[in-house]
Amino acid sequence: MKLETVVFYPHESEFDVESAGAFAPAQSTADRLVEYNQQLKDNLNAGLYFTEVLDTLIKTDDVNELLKAVQILASYQLDSSYLVYPLQYSRADFYLIFVNRLLGLHEDETIILQSSEQKQSLYHEFPGINDRGIFKFAVNPANNQQAFYVEEKTGLRLFFIDFEKKQLYFNSQDLTKLLLVNYRDQVQKHILKHFERYLVALGQYLQADYGYEVDFNFFDATYDKLYQMQTATDPDDALDKLFVKSSQAGLMLISGMNGEAVLKLKGQVVLTLFNKDLVQATQPCWVMKVDDPDNQVSLFDLLVDNDFLVDWYLENENDVQIRCHEVFMEADDK
């Protein structure tokens, strides 16, 4: 999937620009001039209004004004038949600015907003990942309030955001590919966790400030989080493999009283795998659960910290990978 920042070109705007001169025929020249002048004024005013909103986006200290600004800009049509702005930022760029501003308001701006000189567009860069990752929004052409946050080189979609419905869903499958496969030997573990923290913080601010519905997926460290696995049957082979691999790593996968598999890891962290629909089971529903004394550890953290575990996770991904929101599946079908 190729992702380019969308730039508004004169007469090639994303919107249909009414073609000039298509006005009612019976007009005197004077009327036309007046009409023209009025259009110019309106358009200039629209441009001025745009700069005011952009000011807000850049400068406001109010989270609500910030959100409103980005929503206006994201659907704003700056060009018209009378006035064309050759240099413009795209919606995707406004979304990036919004992210930085929101983090900034929480004094937590961990991602760097970069501008690419050739393309006149913006992108995100993360310290430590550096130029290995270029992060941008890919706006849904059919609905400009929806966007995927994408790593440009790989096309991997890290999360989905809907500014209108206030939804944010993380995509553990692509995050796994990017962070645990591609970056595995290239980026230090603590950097990967910093990157996780950045994404989680973003989700938390959206949740707290605007009431977003957020699926943190395998970044979720809350104590009662159950990570639902892909498999629709009992993952016997995968569990046996985990048993063997754990043993090779000097750990023991234990059999619980109710058929659950329990793995005690260092730092009093416990990973439990079990079928949560034991009772009314028409088909098993296997989940993973991570327990730690401070509720600080997510499944992703465990995977980062334990090489044998991530090996196992990747080798058995058809069974054990954590399910993602269907928005990522639908896009896959295309």
Partner 1 sequence: MSNSNQFTLVDHGQATKALAMVLKNKTDYLQTLAQAVANQDDRQVYQLINGEKYATEIQKARHIQADKANEQLVVDANDYLSDYLSQKLIAFLNERYPFFYFEETGRGHFQFYFGNWWGRRLFGTLDVLNVAFVFDEEEYQKLARSFEFEAQNKRLNTDTIERLSQENDEIKELLDSKNARDAEQERIRRKLKDLNQMKVMPWEASKQRERKQQLEDELNRYEKLDAKVFDGYQRIHDNEKKILALSKEDTLLGYEKQSILAKFGSFADFEAQNKVLYRDYIANLIAHDNQEV
CB 76 within 8 A of CB 33: no
The minimum distance between CB 246 and partner 1, in angstroms, equals: 8
**Intra-chain end-to-end CA distance of the chain, in Å:** 10
138: tokens are 């890919």
Residues 17-36 that bind partner 1 (CB under 8 A): none
The minimum distance between CB 145 and partner 1, in angstroms, equals: 47
In the 8-state DSSP scheme, what is residue 3? -
Q: Does 239 bind partner 1 (CB under 8 A)?
A: yes
34-37, Cβ contacts within 8 angstroms, sequence gap of 24 or more:
36/82
Contact window for partner 1 (CB under 8 A) among 64-72, 113-121, 130-138, 234-242: 234-242
Q: Does 253 bind partner 1 (CB under 8 A)?
A: yes
52: tokens are 């005011």
Q: 241, 290, 297, 312: which one contacts partner 1 (CB under 8 A)?
A: 241
The minimum distance between CB 289 and partner 1, in angstroms, equals: 16
Q: 254, 285, 314, 327: which one contacts partner 1 (CB under 8 A)?
A: 254
- Write the single-letter amino acid at 30: A
DSSP string of 35-77? HHHHHHHHHHHHHHHHHHHHHHHHH---HHHHHHHHHHHHT--
Contact window for partner 1 (CB under 8 A) among 41-49, 161-169, 177-185, 238-246: 238-246
The smaller minimum CB distance to partner 1, of residues 7 and 261, is found at 261
Q: Does 244 bind partner 1 (CB under 8 A)?
A: yes
**Mask for 175-204, x = binds partner 1 (CB under 8 A):** ------------------------------
Q: Does 255 bind partner 1 (CB under 8 A)?
A: yes
The whole-angstrom separation of Cα 332 and Cα 334 is 5
The smaller minimum CB distance to partner 1, of residues 118 and 248, is found at 248
Q: Does 315 bind partner 1 (CB under 8 A)?
A: no
Q: Exposed, middle or buried by CB within 10 Å (0-12, 13-18, 19+), for 259? A: exposed
The whole-angstrom separation of Cα 141 and Cα 239 is 43
Q: 97, 242, 265, 297: which one contacts partner 1 (CB under 8 A)?
A: 242
Q: Does 318 bind partner 1 (CB under 8 A)?
A: no
The smaller minimum CB distance to partner 1, of residues 76 and 243, is found at 243
Q: Does 304 bind partner 1 (CB under 8 A)?
A: no
Q: Say whether 99 sits in a helix, a strand or coil.
A: helix
CB 212 within 8 A of CB 204: no
Q: Which residues bind partner 1 (CB under 8 A)?
A: 237, 239-244, 247, 252-255, 261
